[in-house]
């Protein structure tokens, strides 16, 4: 009997372990299933809320649009057909979902845009229209607000929402009288595409109900009816329409998760799996914690660098560029000859400081992975000539010559990043000239076939002092000067930046050197030939245009100058005062908006980075206000122009110029109309 007890004890342990394994495996399966279901619902809900937000914003924008047409007519009840078409054309251009915009004074359609495909509606009397349409018109008049009807099927094809708004101009006595209504059908297919619904339908079932804004009681006009059955368990969200609402339902294709693959886990491996997962979980958690700490440290450092970059971009570069522009402006004036060397010396010193700051900014951009490849078609030979001209201007007498050799098979047009190529060559050639006292600097350019097009080889070879072999490995590190170049000026960043620029373009850079004989830097960049030789327009206007600028419209213009740096305001006033009628100086965007409402203003020249209301916000408010949207807004920035091109469009700037500001580009910006083709059509 004594021998049997250990067996029973072992059996009991095995049974308990087996039961524990079964329970553990079952619980793990349940947990995994619940987790998968929750994650799927959370992900679906996040997508649904985003779609809900986009739908609400979209409908609010369309309602705001029709209210804008209503406000225009209420402000100008005697609006002409030409004025109405010009305004409607601008709306249609920026809102392609609009099928047409119609206005019905005295409830009879007299205005419609576009005209040709919608001219059949001219003369429609809403009082004699079909009952449903007539009732909708009188409802919007009675409630004096925008009414959303539909979607309805259009005679010309497709489905559209119909937005109608009553127009009640105010008479001189203060009373309002019905002028008529405005209406605009909004193409539903375009709305669906702009909201991204076709893309979502690859993974989700989507349905919308609430025709004519009747919410949950309305008809289903998009998707499958079954999605609104409770059995499907779809997620449902309301969409407000100003008056009324829609409801949309969303469900992952195939429905919600119903099983977990881990539920078939072998019961006998439960305990072992639990132990292994516990150990692995502990290890992963510790690893995760360590990585989180490292990531937080990297994020903090990157944030500090970005804050530093912003400070340099505006708080330092903006006033410095104002000082440099003022110095260059003085050098073009009739100042005393004894003062010109002093101003010139100060200007050169300022340029050197600005170059140092730009070097640091390039390093920060590289660390933040913001050195993008902005390649486009360019003529390589004129670019090379321009670089040689830049590096040889102002060289001391007796400086070694720079010889340029371009192979005959190098195409005239190549796909390259002009700015980065220029900076690479200026850095390398300038470095060669700095350390070469006799002989020459030779720049050779050639191409060779590559798998994806061509490889461009740029070589800069000098007969200078050379570099010790043990220093070649650290030559491209930051703040490094060779022993033979310790007495030379510079930040020690030129070659480090050059390597980063080459890397950003997908190329390589190498160096060979021999002491007292010279050094050769070789840059190899991927490129391709551009066979379309488009004409390149000059930046400055013709003599005829210049004459028009100086003695035509500018003499009658009142210009507001806005900049938070005093020297920039004073410089702009000094440049413009002899040419324009009046210059008004303000230090922030709020005072710009105040000035344009106190007197007639023809143009605004504003820094885009100002505290409080910045230049981009000024442009947005000016262009959205019908009373001021004809005022030209010219933006100024101390940063790269390429980085702001999307903002020029989205923020309604007529032009964007980089500091330091030159007079002629500024005058061109004040009179050239980027929307001149639109104005011509409107007239």
Q: How is residue 379 annotated by DSSP?
A: E
Give CATH 3.30.565.10 domain extents, the chain. 376-527
Of the listed ranges 15-19, 176-180, 272-276, 676-680, the one predicted with least confidence:
676-680
How far apart are alpha carbons 231 and 221 in whole angstroms? 20
pLDDT at position 117: 84
- Cα–Cα–Cα angle for 522, 528, 529, nearest 5°? 115
69: Cα within 13 Å, side-chain hemisphere? 35
**Residues above pLDDT 70, as percent of the chain:** 74
pLDDT at position 144: 86
How far apart are alpha carbons 524 and 575 in whole angstroms? 44
Query: Is-contact 587 544, C-beta < 8 A?
Result: no
pLDDT at position 24: 63
How far apart are alpha carbons 477 and 89 in whole angstroms? 57
pLDDT at 150 over 70: yes
pLDDT at position 402: 93
In words, the CATH class of domain 273-367 is mainly alpha
Question: What's the average model confidence in pLDDT over 452-473?
Answer: 90
How far apart are alpha carbons 584 and 561 in whole angstroms? 6
pLDDT at position 266: 42
Q: What kind and span of H or E run contains 303? A: helix 270-310
Neighbours of 299 (CB within 10 A): 10
CATH of segment(s) 1-265 = 3.30.450.350
Give CATH 1.10.287 domain extents, the chain. 273-367
**In the sheet where 441-450 sits, what is the strand order?**
402-406, 441-450, 453-462, 518-527, 508-514
Question: What's the average model confidence in pLDDT over 1-12?
Answer: 47
pLDDT confidence band for 99 (50 / 70 / 90): confident
Give tens-digit pLDDT for 503-537.
989 999 999 999 989 999 999 999 999 875 444 33
Give tens-digit pLDDT for 236-286.
888 887 677 889 899 998 888 776 655 455 444 554 544 554 555 566 566
Q: E strands along 331-411, which residues?
A: 376-379, 402-406
pLDDT at position 682: 27
Give CATH 3.40.50.2300 domain extents, the chain. 543-682
**In the sheet where 147-153 sits, what is the strand order?**
111-113, 101-105, 180-187, 159-167, 147-153
pLDDT at position 348: 60
pLDDT at position 625: 92
pLDDT at 461 over 80: yes
Looking at the DSSP assignment, which residues form a beta bridge with residue 569? none
Work out the mean pLDDT of the chain and round it to a whole number.
79
Give tens-digit pLDDT for 30-39.
776 777 778 8
Question: What's the average model confidence in pLDDT over 305-325?
Answer: 66
Question: What's the average model confidence in pLDDT over 615-633?
Answer: 92
pLDDT at position 643: 47
How far apart are alpha carbons 683 and 671 in whole angstroms? 18
Cα 428 from chain centre: 33
pLDDT at position 396: 54
pLDDT confidence band for 494 (50 / 70 / 90): confident
CA dihedral angle for residue 509, residue 514, residue 519, residue 523, rounded to 10 degrees: -20
Neighbours of 412 (CB within 10 A): 13
CATH of segment(s) 543-682 = 3.40.50.2300
Query: Is-contact 592 604, C-beta < 8 A?
Result: yes
pLDDT at 52 over 70: yes
Q: E strands along 143-233, which residues?
A: 147-153, 159-167, 180-187, 204-209, 220-222
pLDDT confidence band for 330 (50 / 70 / 90): confident
Looking at the DSSP assignment, which residues form a beta bridge with residue 456? 447, 525
pLDDT confidence band for 502 (50 / 70 / 90): very high
Q: Which of 44-48, 259-263, 490-494, 600-604 has the highest mean pLDDT?
A: 600-604
Q: E strands along 258-357, which residues?
A: none
Question: What's the average model confidence in pLDDT over 274-299?
Answer: 63
Give tens-digit pLDDT for 401-443.
999 999 999 999 999 998 889 889 988 998 899 889 899 999 9
What is the CATH architecture of 376-527? Answer: 2-Layer Sandwich (3.30)
pLDDT at 551 over 60: no
Show the tokens assigned to 617.
């916000």
Looking at the DSSP assignment, which residues form a beta bridge with residue 522? 459, 510
Question: What's the average model confidence in pLDDT over 213-219?
Answer: 84
pLDDT at position 53: 86
pLDDT confidence band for 55 (50 / 70 / 90): confident
CA distances from 162 to 62, 66, 91, 151, 159 (A): 10, 10, 16, 7, 10
* Dihedral pair phi/psi, residue 560, rounded to 5°: -95, 125
pLDDT confidence band for 188 (50 / 70 / 90): confident
**In the sheet where 235-240 sits, what is the strand order?**
220-222, 204-209, 245-252, 235-240
Show the tokens assigned to 79.
């609006």
pLDDT at position 649: 46
> What is the DSSP pairing of strand 603-607 with strand 558-562?
parallel
Cβ-count burial 466-479 (b if 16+ within 10 Å, e if not): bbeeeeeeebbeee
Q: Left if phi > 0, otherwise alpha if psi is -120 to 50, otherwise beta: which for 92?
A: alpha
How far apart are alpha carbons 358 and 191 in whole angstroms? 45
pLDDT at 147 over 70: yes
How far apart are alpha carbons 313 and 608 in whole angstroms? 12
pLDDT confidence band for 588 (50 / 70 / 90): very high
How far apart are alpha carbons 661 and 321 in whole angstroms? 8
Q: Which of 206-210, 258-262, 545-549 has the highest mean pLDDT?
A: 206-210
**Residues above pLDDT 90, as percent of the chain:** 23
Give tens-digit pLDDT for 63-95.
888 888 888 888 888 888 888 888 888 888 878
Show the tokens assigned to 122.
């001219």
Query: Is-contact 203 253, C-beta < 8 A?
Result: yes
- 134 vs 292, higher pLDDT: 134
Neighbours of 125 (CB within 10 A): 12
pLDDT at 539 over 50: no
């Amino acid at each position: 009997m004594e021998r049997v007890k250990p067996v029973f004890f072992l059996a009991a342990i095995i049974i308990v372990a087996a039961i524990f394994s079964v329970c553990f495996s079952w619980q793990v399966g349940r947990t995994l299933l619940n987790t998968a279901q929750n994650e799927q619902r959370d992900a679906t809900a996040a997508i649904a809320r985003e779609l809900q937000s986009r739908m609400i914003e979209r409908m609010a924008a369309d309602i705001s649009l029709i209210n804008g047409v209503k406000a225009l007519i209420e402000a100008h009840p005697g609006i002409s057909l030409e004025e109405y078409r010009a305004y409607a054309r601008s709306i249609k251009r920026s809102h392609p979902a609009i099928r047409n915009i119609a206005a019905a004074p005295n409830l009879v359609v007299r205005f419609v845009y576009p005209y040709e495909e919608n001219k059949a509606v001219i003369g429609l009397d809403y009082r004699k229209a079909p009952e449903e349409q007539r009732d909708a018109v009188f409802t919007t008049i009675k409630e004096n607000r925008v009414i959303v009807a539909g979607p309805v099927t259009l005679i010309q094809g497709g489905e559209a929402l119909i937005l109608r708004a009553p127009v009640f101009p105010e008479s001189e006595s203060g009373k309002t009288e019905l002028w008529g209504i405005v209406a605009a059908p909004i193409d539903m297919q375009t709305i669906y595409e702009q909201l991204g619904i076709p893309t979502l339908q690859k993974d989700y079932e989507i349905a919308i109900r609430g025709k004519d804004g009747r919410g949950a009681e309305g008809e289903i006009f998009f998707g499958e009816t079954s999605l609104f059955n409770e059995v499907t368990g779809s997620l449902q969200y309301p969409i407000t329409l100003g008056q009324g609402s829609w409801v949309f339902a969303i469900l992952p294709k195939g429905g919600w998760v119903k099983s977990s693959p881990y539920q078939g886990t072998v019961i006998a491996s439960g305990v072992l799996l639990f132990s292994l997962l516990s150990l692995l979980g502990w290890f992963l958690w510790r690893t995760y914690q360590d990585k989180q700490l490292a990531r937080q440290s990297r994020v903090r450092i990157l944030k500090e660098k970005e804050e530093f970059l912003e400070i340099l971009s505006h708080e330092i570069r903006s006033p410095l560029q104002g000082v440099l522009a003022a110095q260059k402006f003085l050098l073009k004036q009739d100042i005393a000859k004894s003062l010109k060397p002093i101003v010139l010396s100060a200007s050169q010193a300022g340029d050197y400081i600005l170059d140092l700051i730009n070097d640091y900014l390039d390093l920060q951009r590289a660390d933040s992975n913001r050195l993008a490849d902005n390649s486009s078609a360019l003529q390589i030979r004129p670019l090379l000539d321009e670089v040689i001209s830049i590096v040889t201007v102002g060289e001391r007498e007796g400086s070694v010559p720079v010889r340029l050799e371009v192979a005959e098979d190098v195409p005239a047009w190549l796909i390259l990043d002009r700015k980065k190529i220029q900076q690479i060559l200026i850095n390398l050639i300038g470095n060669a000239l700095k350390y070469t006292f006799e002989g020459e600097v030779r720049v050779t350019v050639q191409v060779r076939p590559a798998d994806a097009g061509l490889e461009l080889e740029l070589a800069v070879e000098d007969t200078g002092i050379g570099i010790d072999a043990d220093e070649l490995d650290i030559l491209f590190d930051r703040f490094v000067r060779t022993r033979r170049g310790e007495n030379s000026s510079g930040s020690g960043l030129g070659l480090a930046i050059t390597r980063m620029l080459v890397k950003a373009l997908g190329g390589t850079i190498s160096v060979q050197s021999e002491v007292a004989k010279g050094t050769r830097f070789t840059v190899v960049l991927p490129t391709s030939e551009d066979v379309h030789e488009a004409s390149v327009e000059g930046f400055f206007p013709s003599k005829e245009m210049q004459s028009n600028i100086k003695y035509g419209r500018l003499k009658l213009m009142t210009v507001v100058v806005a900049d938070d740096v005093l020297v920039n305001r004073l410089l702009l006033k000094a440049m413009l005062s002899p040419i324009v009628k009046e210059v008004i100086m303000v230090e922030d965007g709020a005072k710009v908006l105040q000035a344009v409402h106190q007197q007639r203003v023809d143009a605004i020249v504003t820094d885009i980075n100002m505290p409080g209301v910045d230049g981009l916000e000024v442009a947005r408010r000016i262009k959205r206000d019908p009373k001021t949207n004809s005022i030209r807004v010219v933006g100024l920035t101390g940063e790269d122009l390429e980085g702001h091109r999307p903002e020029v469009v989205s923020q309604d700037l007529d032009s964007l110029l980089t500091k330091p500001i030159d007079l002629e580009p500024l005058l061109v910006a004040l009179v050239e109309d980027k929307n001149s083709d639109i104005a011509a059509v409107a007239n």
